[in-house]
């Protein structure tokens, strides 16, 4: 092999080697970025942006949040599905791990009188202490005479329905004389952020639509987000999805977890013979 042919061959092989290395880097970067891009915050149309620990089915990947924090978009409303009904998300407070919900039936129905108590069994949520019980009494044979919230759509000429707060702030004005003639009450939690005079001016539907607060427990996302990452949860462990791939805690911890077996094989098994060939040609 003359010198010109040798130099030409060596140059070609070096070009091929550079192209292979570049393609490998592009492959790995694109694969890692897919996790980051998939967990971009989304919105159903109404309501807050949805991100970790919540995720929207059919819009985001399940690893963008916790398994029991799945949200569906129903008529552009973000909805949490519990065993006893659907609940529209009015707001999410990510910093203090709380969420403001309202029963979809109560929010969208023209009457909106709650038919049953809310059950949080088998859910990852707890009622916040800021909620107050709002009691609904149905089918009362005695009509209340004191201050209550009448529920006319669930009443007729012989049976009456009403609601009231049993708390100390309303005890002086609430009427208890008709309670014994009613069906067992339905209790609705309400996040009471208004004073008593504002509550008195509302009707029962307006009170219920204020919603109620639930809290949740999940690994904090602030450190990951502070490093420009997006939080996720995969194989029962927290992950921070970054532009260069998944990390264990933050994008600055230097522990990229996105190297795949295929890219390792591509790097070692394919590049090794090229290095050997170039070494043999040069020496």
Note the pLDDT tens digit of each residue in 110-153. Answer: 898 998 999 998 899 999 999 999 999 999 998 887 778 999 99
Q: What is the mean pLDDT of the chain?
A: 81
- Please give the biggest Cα pair distance in the chain: 112
| pLDDT tens per residue, range 191-227 | 987 666 788 889 999 999 999 999 999 999 999 999 9
pLDDT band at 264 (very low <50, low <70, confident <90, very high): very low
Torsions phi, psi of 194, nearest 5? -120, 155
Give residue-wise pLDDT tens across range 90-110: 999 999 999 999 999 888 888
pLDDT at residue 2 in the model: 54
| Residue-wise pLDDT tens digits, 230-260 | 999 999 999 999 999 999 999 998 766 654 4
More confident site: 203 or 10:
203
């Amino acid at each position: 092999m003359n010198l010109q042919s040798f130099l030409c061959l060596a140059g070609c092989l070096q070009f091929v080697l550079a192209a292979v290395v570049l393609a490998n880097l592009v492959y790995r970067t694109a694969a890692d970025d897919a996790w980051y891009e998939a967990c971009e915050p989304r919105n159903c149309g109404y309501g807050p942006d949805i991100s970790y620990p919540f995720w929207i089915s059919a819009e985001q990947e399940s690893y963008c949040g916790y398994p029991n924090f799945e949200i569906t978009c129903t008529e552009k409303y973000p909805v949490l599905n519990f065993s006893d009904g659907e609940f529209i998300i009015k707001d999410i407070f990510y910093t203090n791990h709380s969420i403001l919900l309202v029963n979809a039936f109560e929010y969208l129905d023209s009457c909106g009188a709650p038919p049953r108590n809310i059950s949080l069994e088998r859910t990852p949520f707890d009622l916040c202490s800021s909620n107050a019980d709002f009691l609904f009494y149905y089918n009362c044979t005695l009509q209340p005479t004191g201050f209550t919230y009448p529920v006319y759509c669930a009443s007729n000429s012989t049976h009456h329905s009403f609601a009231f707060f049993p708390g100390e702030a309303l005890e002086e004005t609430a009427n208890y004389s008709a309670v014994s003639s009613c069906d067992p009450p339905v209790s609705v939690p309400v996040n009471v952020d208004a004073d008593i005079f504002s509550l008195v001016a509302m009707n029962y539907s307006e009170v219920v639509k204020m919603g109620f607060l639930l809290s949740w427990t999940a690994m904090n996302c602030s450190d990951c987000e502070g490093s420009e990452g997006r939080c996720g949860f995969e194989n029962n462990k927290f992950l921070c999805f970054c532009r260069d791939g998944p990390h264990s805690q933050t994008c600055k911890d230097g522990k990229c977890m996105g190297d795949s077996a295929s890219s390792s094989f591509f790097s070692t098994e394919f590049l090794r013979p090229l290095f050997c060939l170039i070494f043999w040609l040069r020496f």
